[in-house]
Structure 1
Amino acid sequence: MTGVWVLLGTLVVAVAAGLLLKARNGRVRAAKPAATARPLPAPVAEALDPASAVTLVQISTTFCAPCRHTRVILSALAEKTDGLHHVDLDVTEQPEVAQALSVLRTPTTLALAADGRELLRVGGVPKGPELLAALQPHLTGIDAR
């Protein structure tokens, strides 16, 4: 009988963990003040577009299937939105970049201002309209092309 209770408890914990992870996937989070103060790694700093109000830096790895889906969403969003630029940074060969940015999973999307300040981040595949709504205060005159 004890084995049944252990199995039942394990299933409850697994379902709760799965629901928590699903709820957090793709959620837009505002940057923490400590994240905005730290210097950017060189590959990220070089990827910033000074002509754009916001640069979306997608942190990816080579064999990440959700990263491909994220790339499609962010590229389309950047193409149709003035002041928004998208860069996909593969950190497979440079894990120190992910470590410096406190990235624990791929894909992770960082929205960076032209001066390098982190505005927000998304862990997992972002939802385009939700991300655009969160970025709206940082973009001057959003205009669909």
Structure 2
Amino acid sequence: MDGDGADPAAVFARLGVRPAAADLTVVQFSTAFCGPCRATRARLAGLQATRPGLAVVQVDAESHLAEVRELGVQQTPTLFFLDRAGRVVARTSGAPRPAELTALVDARAGVRV
């Protein structure tokens, strides 16, 4: 999973990610000129508006090259799905299809009624 044996929880902590605060935290690694990154960011914002247990953290891959290497991020967007304990429960590389992204989120974060 990771690039060189790095502890993912320690890497996410350095990035300011606090997974204990939500049922599911999605960390998205993006770059400024990535169209699929913008589309995925917008989808996540829409999901976050209706899922109270969802937190989203955006990371500029170009500004965090050490973390990119440590986590083995090869393309953008790359999304890491963390549970409350900070464990990576899923990971996607490239833009996930909207239905796939919704299913991954709904499996762990509640929908507001």
Paired residue for 1:112? 82
Q: Aligned partners of 1:116 and 1:44: how far apart in 2?
A: 13
Is the alpha carbon distance of 1:38 and 1:120 closer, same or farther for their aligned partners in structure 2, counting shifts above 3 Å? same
Deviation at 1:48, TM superposition (A): 2.5
Normalising by structure 1, we get a TM-score of 0.64
Structure number with greater Rg is 1
Q: Aligned partners of 1:48 and 1:39: how far apart in 2?
A: 10
Match of 2:91 among 101, 121, 124: 121
Q: Deviations over 1:98-138 (max 9, x none)?
A: 11111100111110112210010111112233223234443
**Would you tell me which structure has more helix in proportion to its own residues?**
1
The answer for unaligned runs of 5 or more in structure 2 is none
Give the share of equivalent positions with the same residue, in percent: 30
Paired residue for 2:104? 134
- Alignment of 1:143 with 2:106, yes or no, is no
Paired residue for 1:70? 40
Is the alpha carbon distance of 1:104 and 1:133 closer, same or farther for their aligned partners in structure 2, counting shifts above 3 Å? same
Q: Deviations over 1:11-46 (max 9, x none)?
A: xxxxxxxxxxxxxxxxxxxx79xx9x6443156652
C-alpha RMSD of matched pairs (Å):
2.5
Normalising by structure 2, we get a TM-score of 0.80
Counterpart amino acid of residue 76 in structure 1 = G
- Alignment of 1:53 with 2:23, yes or no, is yes
Higher relative contact order (CA 8 A, sep 6+): 2
Match of 2:69 among 99, 105, 119: 99
Equivalent pairs counted in the alignment come to 110
Q: Aligned partners of 1:127 and 1:144: how far apart in 2?
A: 22
